Amino acid sequence: MRKIHDFHGGIHPVENKHQSLHTPIRDAGIPAELTLPLSQHIGAPATPLVAVGERVLKGQLVAEATGLVSAALHAPTSGTVTAIEPRPIAHPSGLPAPCLVIASDGEDAWCELPPPCSFETLERPELLARIRAAGIAGMGGAGFPAAVKLGLKPGTQVETLIINGTECEPYITADDILMRERAAQIVRGAQILAHLVAPAETVIGIEDNKPEAIAAMCAAAEGTGIEIAVFPTKYPSGGEKQLIELLTGKQVPSGGLPMDVGVVCQNVGTAAAVADAVEHGRPLISRITTVTGAAVDEPQNFEVLLGTPMSHLLALAGYRAADNPRLVMGGPMMGFTVPDPGVPIVKTTNCILAPSAQELPAPPPAQACIRCGLCAEACPASLLPQQLYWFARGREFEKAEAHNLFDCIECGACSYVCPSNIPLVQYYRAAKAEVLQMRRDAQKAEHSRQRFEARQERLEREEAEKEARRAARKQAAEEKARRAADAGSGEADPVQAAIERAQARKAAQAAGAASEENPLQKLEKTVVTTRERLEKAEAKLAQARSEGADHIAALETGVEKTRAKLAAAEQALQDYQAQQTPAEPAPAGDAAQAAIQKAMAARAAQANKSPLEKARDNLEKLEARLAKSEARLAESRAAGEEEKIVEALASSVERLQEKVAAARAELAAEES
Amino acid sequence: MALMRVTSPHAHGPLSTSAVMQQVLLATVPGVLVLTAFFGFGTLVNIAFAALLAVSFEALALKLRGRPPGFYLGDCSALVTAVLLGIALPPYSPWWLIAVGIAAAILMAKHLYGGLGYNPFNPAMVGYVVLLISFPVQMTSWAPPRGAGEVPGLLEALRACFTPGSFDAITMATPLDVLKQNDALLVRDLWAQSPQFGRWAGLGWEWANLAFLAGGLWLLYRRIFTWHAPVAMLAVIALMAALFYDGGSSASGGSPLFHLLSGATMFGAFFIVTDPVTSAVSVRGRLVYGALVGLLVYLIRVFGNYPDAVAFAVLIMNFAAPFIDQYTQPRTYGHAGTGDGK
Amino acid sequence: MIELLVQHPLLAALLALVGLGAVFGALLGYAAVRFRTEGNPIVEQINAILPQTQCGQCGHPGCRPYAEAIAAGEDINKCPPGGQAGIEALAQLLDREVVPLDDEHGEEKVPQVAFIREDECIGCTKCIQACPVDAILGAAKHMHTVIASECTGCDLCVEPCPVDCIDMIPQAQTLQTWHWELPDTSNRGADIIATDAGEAA
């Protein structure tokens, strides 16, 4: 018998487990529509592989894992994909998330599965690939992809493999009934896991309030070398960190993983799913879910297809919506309220709790904290919850962090015992989120700062380059002038002069080639020369026609070509002008500063004005903008610009007109 | 009907603040009964009048501070303060003494700091010390116990309270006082000469202390508070008394048993030191806090100017409680060292 | 000399105090020079607190210039994107008093992100030039778009747009950004802070 250690704190809430244990696991059947959220696990959402309208078979891969920390999704039954869109999911926010919707056809036709095999014959990578392909994510509630947890770095030695059958939360019996009815499957799963991670020992941990499950598991584990460890019931002994301390006496370092102390921990449900996946090639498409609470007539456990709406299960259990003020996914300690009974069952839905108002009354108003310290006694992480509460409430998040806020596992023991009914866990959740938000903001600010500085640098560099070019041009011109003066005064060598002239022209061209103004000149020149060429060609053509020469056709095509070239050149010139005109008022580099200065001046001016003046100014400004826009519109209409531009301008004029009208109304209101 | 959206946990334990306060009130009953049995109805009258005043002052303060009085009065904390102060005051105190004490406790020590949960000092003890310093004569005169003098009836008790002028108070030094003033007799002789002494400690006092001990044990059983602070305090008092009890010479400080069952020892250990708001919070912190209260109680009793010292000791340690908390943070799961000094 | 001092105790006391003052002053002065701690330059620290939206609402062309101005003594309450939290952080860093945001420079708003209505964009590049963090992508006569993850929500691009096709939209809440808020203590009729007294009554 192994030594059972103890962990600090913990509570003993009323268990309420017997209600849902009267009947064996019941099959929940196939609902008409299944909604599969793409993110049912911790990590990146899965990527859909099927299109809307496609027919899928039961067990077919419909969405693959994205990246390493992710899990695949499979069709829970055969049918047609009807939508891939955001739908409400089981999340306290009530926000929608991308889901894959399958209308079932009732045939429940399986796709072709990999042949059944025995795990001993499989190599480690192959085993892991099977688990990964089956899309198994931790079934205990957190939903961490199992294959990621099991994919150990080479060379790591696992001391203990823990299979978690604790199920310490009140009401939930999904693991309990699974252990009672499918002990052999769990043990096979545990053997597969053990084969995979090669631990020194494998332990299945169960609380002592499940005697039947313990008996079944002991019988199934007989002769396998797997140990069944039974320990006293205390919430939250099923928490991964607490369970590790209970069974090994070791504590997972803060911010670390169980692997850091040589432990791998998996839920019994996960073990069963692994057995299914490896031995029968069946992916994870269903799970055991407890439906319980006083608002259902027949609390019981269901084997339910993933994606089944909660309302379907609730109806099977005899749900009385009128008696149910809140619907909880998970247990009463760590579960969260769902906004709507229509949300789907996911891989982590171990329980649907539909309590009556008497059973779990609405939280009364919080009273003052009297620092009674009951929370500190109950805290399984040995934190000082009331200190964290003061810090969170006072928004002193740094201090909260220094008091190890992030070691809080949000088990709810502190809130449970608090005599003043303070929603402590909510404070911690909010504080954690704020801290994370602050970190993200700081990161973003740093990123923006770098971009801003890079831009400033670029602008400066461009300015400097421009300056350098200007200087070079000036120098070249001076040089030329000097040369010209020299040439005029002295004995000129015509050849030398010609060479120099050519050089100077070249230098000027080189300097100009990069300059801002030159492309314009170049384009203009192209237009002029092309036009000249065209004229010449036309003259030639006319001459040839009058002479009746035989190369008229060739000349004609030449003229056509030149004409096309001219058109292209003109177009290019026009484009260039269009692009350049807007930028003219300020050089590119200073636009931001100019805008800032303008905005600054406007703000400074506005600050000293009465609302009336402000309104009047606003109107004036808008009118000016309107006039400008109208002018621009007229201009572009006259110029026959593209229809799209004209339209855009017209719509902006309309919008400005609306704004002007609004400003007028405001001004009128101010005046009256 | 829209489904409720609340954060977990959805279940809540049976304990509430008002239930805690009511349990504390209930636990004082045996002590109050013994006090009444030995010293007459004075304590009961104290408590009744103090409770009336405390609730009125609390309501007034809440009204002034713009809080809903009904909700806050429901936590019963004002009643607890009143009962504790009523027990601590000498029986047959005049009404104005009680009024000043309650005003200091509720208005000054509690609401000036922001009400329940925000007060750094134990309100009942602030009220007591304000009175002790302001009216030393009234505060140090204690009625003689049954067996050592006449005990007034209920009517006389009421007269003593509301028409103090018409009541001729009989007072007698308390056993702690007698021992303190003694500089010539052996403890044994003192015991024989003074009518105030009983079997182990003061006549009546010993039974009152035992009754408060019983009430405290019941609270411990009900898990209203933890054992750490009271046990540490009693242990240190006993240890100090044992160290300085020289077998009963005239300079002796009194036996451990005498100290444990005298004055406000048990009352202080189970009803004052355990006040959660003003004491240290962590387990180690409470041990330190209780031990230091015990040390101060003994030092002031034996070497100081006052015969009893629970109030002073508690107030001084109230000052130190945040400091103690700072240095006794528990080691968080998964962290190497303690959280000290962070 | 000594006799004089003995005869005039006042003088003696004065001298002693002045002497002590001089000695300790010299000691402190020496220590200040000798053991000076080289901290992060204050401008950098201020800049690290500023939100880096580069919006110019403070009246400076960017966050760093404002950081420099603050270091030179300017008010710390001119940054609306930083909000009250930013002011508090600055006040703590600089040991100044916490003051409310100066609404002359704008109000604290939820974080926004610029959005170009792309079918209305005429491709004029004006917004690109105005963007302080190069978060707008596009070329002349081609539709522009905002790289949402780089946008700081400074709204400097809105003014220059000739066709008014840029909207500032509040950043949408997603499952990733959603979280429980701190419990609202003001609306429960209990456990309220003094300033909310009116609501409770």
Work out the average pLDDT over A216-227.
91
Model pLDDT, residue A599 = 64
A621-630 pLDDT tens trace: 788 888 888 8
Q: Are A162 and A2 in contact (CB under 8 A)?
A: no
How many residue pairs from chains B and C have C-beta atoms closer than 8 A?
Answer: 18
Work out the average pLDDT over B61-84.
90
Say how far apart CA A436 and CA B98 lie, in whole Å.
53
Domain count, chain B: 2
Say how far apart CA A178 and CA A164 lie, in whole Å.
12
Residue B9 counted as domain residue: no
Instruction: Find, among B238, B232, B230, the residue nearest to B260 by Cα.
Output: B238
Same structural domain for residues B80 and B98? Answer: yes
End position of a domain, from candidates B106, B139, B172:
B172
Residue B320 counted as domain residue: yes
Higher pLDDT, A106 or B271: B271
Minimal Cα distance from B119: which residue of A? A370
Of A426, A452, A607, the CB nearest to C133: A452
Q: Read off the amino acid at residue C45.
A: Q
Neighbour-count burial of A270, counting CB atoms closer than 10 A to its CB (0-12 exposed, 13-18 middle, 19+ buried): buried
Structure tokens at C152: 């700081």
A452–C180 CB contact, under 8 Å: no
Higher pLDDT, A592 or C9: C9
Q: Mean pLDDT over all residues of chain A?
A: 85
Same structural domain for residues A560 and A636? Answer: no
Helix (H) / strand (E) containing A598? helix A591-607
Pairing between strand A96-104 and A33-37? antiparallel
Same structural domain for residues A72 and A103? Answer: yes
Handedness of CA A552, A555, A557, A562 (dihedral sign): negative
Model pLDDT, residue A631 = 84
Q: What percent of chain C has pLDDT over 90?
A: 9
Instruction: Find, among A135, A58, A44, the residue nearest to A97 by Cα.
Output: A44
If pLDDT is split at 50, 70 and 90, which confidence band does A53 have? very high
Collect all residues of chain B within an 8 Å Cβ-Cβ radius of residue A241: 333-334
CATH value at residue A316: 3.40.50.11540
Q: What percent of chain A has pLDDT over 90?
A: 41
Residue A510 counted as domain residue: no
Q: Does A526 touch chain B (CB under 8 A)?
A: no
Same structural domain for residues B180 and B162? Answer: no
Of B11, B16, B118, the CB nearest to A419: B16
Work out the average pLDDT over A310-322.
91
Of A334, A337, A370, the CB nearest to B17: A370
CATH value at residue A380: 1.10.1060
Same structural domain for residues B236 and B255? Answer: yes
**Among the listed ranges A62-71, A127-136, A371-380, B176-185, which one has the minimum average pLDDT value?**
B176-185
Model pLDDT, residue C194 = 38
C63-73 pLDDT tens trace: 888 888 888 88
Residue B339 counted as domain residue: no
Same structural domain for residues A451 and A306? Answer: no
Model pLDDT, residue C47 = 86
In sequence order, the 6+-apart residues with CB closer than 8 A to the CB of C159 are A595, A598, A599, C130
Residue A604 counted as domain residue: no
- What's the angle, vertex CA A567, arms to CA A562 and CA A573, rounded to 5? 125
Same structural domain for residues A478 and A530? Answer: no
> In Å, how far is C195's CA from the nearest CA of chain B?
9
> In Å, how far is C123's CA from the nearest CA of chain A?
9
Same structural domain for residues B35 and B52? Answer: yes
Partners of A160 in beta bridges: A201, A263
In sequence order, the 6+-apart residues with CB closer than 8 A to the CB of B196 are B144, B145, B148, B172, B173, B174, B175, B178, B202, B203
Neighbours of A199 (CB within 10 A): 18
Model pLDDT, residue B232 = 96
End position of a domain, from candidates B149, B172, B195:
B172
**Among the listed ranges A394-408, B1-15, B226-240, B305-319, which one has the minimum average pLDDT value?**
B1-15
Give Cα separations from B132 to A396, B90, B125 (angstroms): 40, 11, 10
A377-394 pLDDT tens trace: 899 999 989 989 999 988
Q: State which residues form the domain around A545.
A: 518-583
> In Å, how far is A145's CA from the nearest CA of chain C?
18
Collect all residues of chain B within an 8 Å Cβ-Cβ radius of residue A328: 8, 10
Collect all residues of chain A within an 8 Å Cβ-Cβ radius of residue C102: none
Model pLDDT, residue A177 = 94
Work out the average pLDDT over A219-235.
91
Using the predicted structure, report yes or no on whether residue B308 has a pLDDT greater than 90. Answer: no
Same structural domain for residues A227 and A324? Answer: yes
Is the peptide bond preceding residue B9 cis, with omega within 30 degrees of 0? yes
Q: Which chains touch B (3 or more CB pairs under 8 A)?
A: A, C
Q: Are A340 and A375 in contact (CB under 8 A)?
A: no
Same structural domain for residues B158 and B29? Answer: yes
Same structural domain for residues B107 and B199? Answer: no
A455–C190 CB contact, under 8 Å: no
Using the predicted structure, report yes or no on whether residue A585 has a pLDDT greater than 50. Answer: no
C197–B67 CB contact, under 8 Å: yes
If pLDDT is split at 50, 70 and 90, which confidence band does C193 have? very low
Minimal Cα distance from B331: which residue of A? A382
Q: What is the 3-state secondary structure (H, E, C) of A106-118?
A: CCCCECCCCCCCC
Same structural domain for residues A213 and A154? Answer: yes
Residue A7 counted as domain residue: no
B3–A170 CB contact, under 8 Å: no
Same structural domain for residues A23 and A156? Answer: yes
A368–B118 CB contact, under 8 Å: yes
Structure tokens at C115: 């959005």
Using the predicted structure, report yes or no on whether residue C104 has a pLDDT greater than 90. Answer: no
Same structural domain for residues B178 and B317? Answer: yes
Using the predicted structure, report yes or no on whether residue B270 has a pLDDT greater than 70. Answer: yes
Model pLDDT, residue A529 = 80
Helix runs in B135-244, H state only: 136-140, 154-162, 175-181, 187-193, 205-221, 228-244
Say how far apart CA A324 and CA A77 lie, in whole Å.
31
Collect all residues of chain A within an 8 Å Cβ-Cβ radius of residue C82: none
A499-547 pLDDT tens trace: 777 777 776 666 555 544 566 777 777 788 888 888 877 887 777 777 6
Say how far apart CA A254 and CA A546 lie, in whole Å.
98
Model pLDDT, residue C191 = 42
DSSP state of A26: E
- What's the angle, vertex CA B14, arms to CA B10 and CA B19, rounded to 5? 130
Model pLDDT, residue A495 = 66
> In Å, how far is B236's CA from the nearest CA of chain A?
23
Same structural domain for residues A109 and A195? Answer: yes
Model pLDDT, residue A426 = 92
Structure tokens at B62: 């809440």
Collect all residues of chain A within an 8 Å Cβ-Cβ radius of residue C188: 365-366
Same structural domain for residues A403 and A437? Answer: yes
Structure tokens at B169: 């108070």
A451-504 pLDDT tens trace: 888 988 999 999 999 999 999 999 999 998 888 887 766 555 666 666 777 777
Residue A597 counted as domain residue: no
Residue B333 counted as domain residue: no
Residue A9 counted as domain residue: no
C180–B67 CB contact, under 8 Å: no
Same structural domain for residues A483 and A528? Answer: no
What residue has token string 């990964």?
A: A132
Residue A598 counted as domain residue: no
- What's the angle, vertex CA A394, arms to CA A391 and CA A398, rounded to 5? 50
If pLDDT is split at 50, 70 and 90, which confidence band does C198 have? very low
Same structural domain for residues A164 and A301? Answer: yes
Collect all residues of chain B within an 8 Å Cβ-Cβ radius of residue A321: 1
Same structural domain for residues B143 and B275? Answer: no
Q: What is the pTM of this model?
A: 0.76
Residue B329 has φ and ψ, to the nearest 5°, of -65, 135
Residue A599 counted as domain residue: no
Give Cα separations from A465 to A159, A461, A469, A472, A505 (angstroms): 65, 6, 6, 10, 21
End position of a domain, from candidates A353, A374, A391:
A353
Say how far apart CA A620 and CA A613 lie, in whole Å.
10
B68–C189 CB contact, under 8 Å: yes
Q: What is the 3-state secondary structure (H, E, C) of A520-540?
A: HHHHHHHHHHHHHHHHHHHHH
Using the predicted structure, report yes or no on whether residue C178 has a pLDDT greater than 90. Answer: no
Q: Does C193 touch chain B (CB under 8 A)?
A: no
A428-459 pLDDT tens trace: 999 999 899 888 888 888 888 888 889 889 99
Work out the average pLDDT over A261-277.
92
Using the predicted structure, report yes or no on whether residue B131 has a pLDDT greater than 60. Answer: yes
Domain count, chain A: 4
Collect all residues of chain B within an 8 Å Cβ-Cβ radius of residue C194: 65-66
C161 is in an annotated binding site: yes
Collect all residues of chain A within an 8 Å Cβ-Cβ radius of residue C126: 582-583, 591
Q: Does B322 touch chain A (CB under 8 A)?
A: no
Q: Does C10 touch chain B (CB under 8 A)?
A: no
Residue B338 counted as domain residue: no
**Among the listed ranges A104-113, A570-579, B95-104, C26-35, which one has the minimum average pLDDT value?**
A570-579
How many residue pairs from chains A and B have C-beta atoms closer than 8 A?
Answer: 174
Residue B195 counted as domain residue: yes
Minimal Cα distance from C189: which residue of A? A365
Same structural domain for residues B30 and B80? Answer: yes
Q: Hey, is B171 helix, strand or coil?
A: coil
Same structural domain for residues B39 and B135? Answer: yes
Residue A602 counted as domain residue: no
Model pLDDT, residue A602 = 64
Say how far apart CA A489 and CA A492 lie, in whole Å.
8
> In Å, how far is A579's CA from the nearest CA of chain C?
6
Q: Please name the residues between 29 and 48 in chain B that touch chain A, using a CB distance below 8 Å.
A: none
Instruction: Find, among A189, A186, A184, the residue nearest to A219 by Cα.
Output: A184
Same structural domain for residues B142 and B165? Answer: yes
End position of a domain, from candidates B137, B172, B207:
B172
Say how far apart CA C176 and CA A175 lie, in whole Å.
29
Say how far apart CA B111 and CA B103 lie, in whole Å.
10
B66–C180 CB contact, under 8 Å: no
DSSP state of A321: G
Q: What is the 3-state secondary structure (H, E, C) of chain C?
A: CHHHHHHCHHHHHHHHHHHHHHHHHHHHHHHHHHCCCCCCCHHHHHHHHCCCCCCCCCCCCCHHHHHHHHHCCCCCCCCCCCHHHHHHHHHHHHCCCCCCCCHHHCCCCCCEEEEECCCCCCCCCHHHHHCCCCCEECCCCCCCEECCCCCCCCCCCCCCCCCCCEEEEECCCCCCCCCCCCCCCCCCCCCCCHHHHHHHC
**Among the listed ranges A116-125, A225-234, B87-96, which one has the minimum average pLDDT value?**
A116-125
Q: Which residues of B301-337 are buried (b: 16+ CB within 10 A; e: fewer)?
A: bbebebbbbbbbbbbebbeebeebbebbbbebbbbee
Of A369, A382, A387, the CB nearest to B333: A382
C189–B72 CB contact, under 8 Å: no
Q: State which residues form the domain around B153.
A: 17-172
Residue B223 counted as domain residue: yes
Same structural domain for residues B151 and B133? Answer: yes
